[in-house]
Structure 1
Amino acid sequence: MKIGSRTIKTAIGTPISISIAQVLGLTNFVSAGILTILCIQPSRKRSVLSAWHRFLACAVAAIFSVIFFELIGYHPIVIGSMLICFIPVTVWLKVTPGIATSSVIILNLYSAHNISYSFIIDQFLIIIIGIGTALLVNLYMPSLDNQLKQKQDELENHFQIILNEIALYIRNKNENWDGKELSICEDILQDAMNLVSLDKENHLLRNKHPYYDYFMMRNKQLELLQKMLPLVSRLPNRDSISLKIADFFEKLGDAVHPGNTATLYLDELEQLQKSFDQEELPKTKEEFETRANLFHLLHEIEDYLLLKKKFKKSDVTGKKRLKKRPE
């Protein structure tokens, strides 16, 4: 079983905060460790927001505790009455994540049976130590670049399979492929976007993420591939047009890559379109429907390549021959 970084940080931060509170001679020093456990978050952004929410909620909880316990009394019913008023206030202030943390402070103040100025200072020091330790420990976040690169490689491998399977179907009408790569790609994209979102939260001053546009582009390309499949199934059996389309899909499949040489493939696609225009006009309804599906398919392929072309600056400089270059 793999132990995550959040578990390790919790295991490190909790004894540190308890030790600091204990050395300072604070009452309820164990509460500092509880606050640290509650404040460890999976990203820097969430950690900062959590620290603010919990500190403000604790401050409000201290004020409510003084008012209710000192004016009404130290009784369990008073705790319930106070929570009825306190929780809606945290909702109004949009600091509901701090309810659990502030409950620790409320119970500490309740157990004192006499809230003095020094005891309130004591509790605020516990809040600062517990939340502050969690915030400092959470400054370290492991890089997600390797995981994102792995997702990129997995996605491109499955794109290659999809494109090559399409080419194989056009040539031989091979129906053995179950299309599972399509759903696998959807899962990879979902996991990748979750990682991108988490990594963005770990870089507070970075608005853009290098992998965000890439995975969004691949997601749109996957949608286009799904739209192409019904069109591919309607192509005629092994005529010259179908074989040329199969060859083109095979080239795309063999050359899936993070780079951008889509311009080369768009040029070849344009030549294909011109060659198809020179074919004889359809004479039957079936031939007409086939030709319509063909042009629709070519349009989808063009959109597929244009997505890559717009994704980043082209890697093509000058005129280069097309020899299985990345699409």
Structure 2
Amino acid sequence: MEFNIGPRMLKTGLAATLTLLITGLVGLKLEIVAAIAAVLAMQPSIMRSFAYIKEVIISNGVGLIFALLGSFLLGNHPLAVGAIVILSIAINIKLGLTKTVSLTILTIITLMLSGESGVDFVYIVERLSLIVIGVLSAFVVNVAVFPPDHRKILYSMIKDTSDRIHFLMRVVPNNTMTVPKLKEEDREIEKGITKAKDYYEIISDERNRLFIRNRRSFFRNIVIYKHMIKMLEKQHNLIRQLEKNLIEIEKDAENKVYLIKKLINEINTYSENVFLMYEDKIILDRDLQKETKSAMQLTINNLINELQGAKFEKWFYLFPVANSIIELFSELEKLERLVRFNERKEKRKKA
């Protein structure tokens, strides 16, 4: 069984430790509340930590108001606490403050369970200080310890998913994989694309940081990653169309099956070469690429000609495959241009 401790796990532990040390130094009770707040407040990026703090201020303001009203009007009976929690959750969701709902609940419970001492100004300050210490500790640790290298993380996600897709694009046309294994790989690819898209949102947020060293290079790579993810989606769609329609194509359009398989193999090689060029591992010859593209375009034209005057049934299974190939080829051309442009800029920078 694998046991990996990632940077975020480590930072969460450090944030909880820092929180407990600070609460111990200032002599605050219920330090566990501050530690829980630190764990809830740990975010995957620095910009999201900023956004989280802003949301915490608003949502905890709402929580404070409801907690005080609940304490004075209903007391601190468990049913009263539950009712206030439900009401505050509804209000926070209505206001769009969904990320900090858990922290708001923690604030309400901490404030309402005052015991015999009752709620006064000192009590409110002490309880809110626990939340503030936890959130700020998480922010400080997130900034100071292992600042996330989002470009590296995102490209790793994209590359892992791309490797799976390239493998499937080799085996699916030849029907050399069992159905259960094929479905398993398909699910993993879908998860990988979703993770990459979600992380792209994080890296898009991160572009607004003031301390990015090379902003132009950062922005160029952001655009490249965006098109890489689009390409993964196009490739995945092509694989699904092949799974769905290839058997029918083999039955009714035998003369085109070889062309389709050959074209998919060429596109797959083209895609792999673009990735290798981005990694600066190979140099793609432009003339050779032009010949390859011409061959691919010729095959695509043959597929289009096959559809002209064909019966509806043939359109039903041949057109989705042809359309997926055309969309993927178009996206690959865009990606190649972006990678070449980035390559020229990087060389000028080093010169």
User: TM-score scaled to structure 2, two decimals?
Assistant: 0.65
Specify the alignment match of 2:108 in structure 1.
103
- Mean Cα deviation higher: 119-128 or 262-271: 262-271
Would the aligned equivalents of 1:155 and 1:188 in 2 still touch at CA under 8 Å? yes
Q: 1:48-63 alignment to 2 at 5 Å?
A: 48-63=50-65
Specify the alignment match of 1:265 in structure 2.
292
Change over 3 Å in CA distance of 1:97–1:150 after alignment to 2 = same
> How far did 1:111 drift?
2.5
Return the match for 1:23 from 22, 25, 46.
25
Specify the alignment match of 1:142 in structure 2.
148
Separation in 2, partners of 1:192, 1:16: 36
Task: Write the deviation string for residues 93-132 of structure 1: whole angstroms up to 9, x where unpaired.
Answer: 4433433321343245x22623332332223322221211
Matched, 1:221 2:225: no
Would the aligned equivalents of 1:43 and 1:138 in 2 still touch at CA under 8 Å? yes
Letter of the structure 1 residue corresponding to residue 110 of structure 2: I
Q: CA RMSD in A?
A: 4.5
Would the aligned equivalents of 1:21 and 1:126 in 2 still touch at CA under 8 Å? yes
Separation in 1, partners of 2:323, 2:232: 18
Would the aligned equivalents of 2:238 and 2:321 in 1 still touch at CA under 8 Å? no
Task: Write the deviation string for residues 22-57 of structure 1: whole angstroms up to 9, x where unpaired.
Answer: 322334444322321232234445544443444434
Matched, 1:114 2:118: yes
Separation in 2, partners of 1:45, 1:231: 50
Q: 1:161-172 alignment to 2 at 5 Å?
A: 161-165=167-171, 169=174
**SS where residue 127 of structure 1 aligns?**
helix
Letter of the structure 2 residue corresponding to residue 187 of structure 1: E
Letter of the structure 1 residue corresponding to residue 230 of structure 2: M
Specify the alignment match of 1:309 in structure 2.
333
Would the aligned equivalents of 2:263 and 2:299 in 1 still touch at CA under 8 Å? no
> How far did 1:214 drift?
0.9
Segments of structure 1 that go 5 or more residues without pairing to the other structure are: 170-174, 318-327
Alignment coverage as a number of residue pairs: 302
- Mean Cα deviation higher: 117-126 or 259-268: 259-268
User: TM-score scaled to structure 1, two decimals?
Assistant: 0.68
Segments of structure 2 that go 5 or more residues without pairing to the other structure are: 209-221, 276-285, 342-351
Change over 3 Å in CA distance of 1:264–1:298 after alignment to 2 = farther
Letter of the structure 2 residue corresponding to residue 221 of structure 1: Q
Would the aligned equivalents of 1:231 and 1:297 in 2 still touch at CA under 8 Å? no
Q: 1:1-327 alignment to 2 at 5 Å?
A: 1-44=3-46, 46-70=48-72, 73=75, 75-76=77-78, 78-80=80-82, 82-83=84-85, 85-95=87-97, 96-107=101-112, 110-111=114-115, 113-139=117-143, 140-146=146-152, 148-165=154-171, 169=174, 176-178=176-178, 180=181, 184-185=185-186, 187-201=188-202, 204-206=205-207, 208=222, 210-228=224-242, 229-230=246-247, 232-234=249-251, 247-257=262-272, 259=274, 263-271=290-298, 301-313=325-337
Task: Write the deviation string for residues 175-232 of structure 1: whole angstroms up to 9, x where unpaired.
Answer: 5444655762552243243134135325524385542321222222332344352465
Change over 3 Å in CA distance of 1:91–1:112 after alignment to 2 = farther
Would the aligned equivalents of 1:40 and 1:134 in 2 still touch at CA under 8 Å? yes
Structure with more helix by fraction: 2
Task: Write the deviation string for residues 273-292 of structure 1: whole angstroms up to 9, x where unpaired.
Answer: 78999xxxx9xx99xx99x9
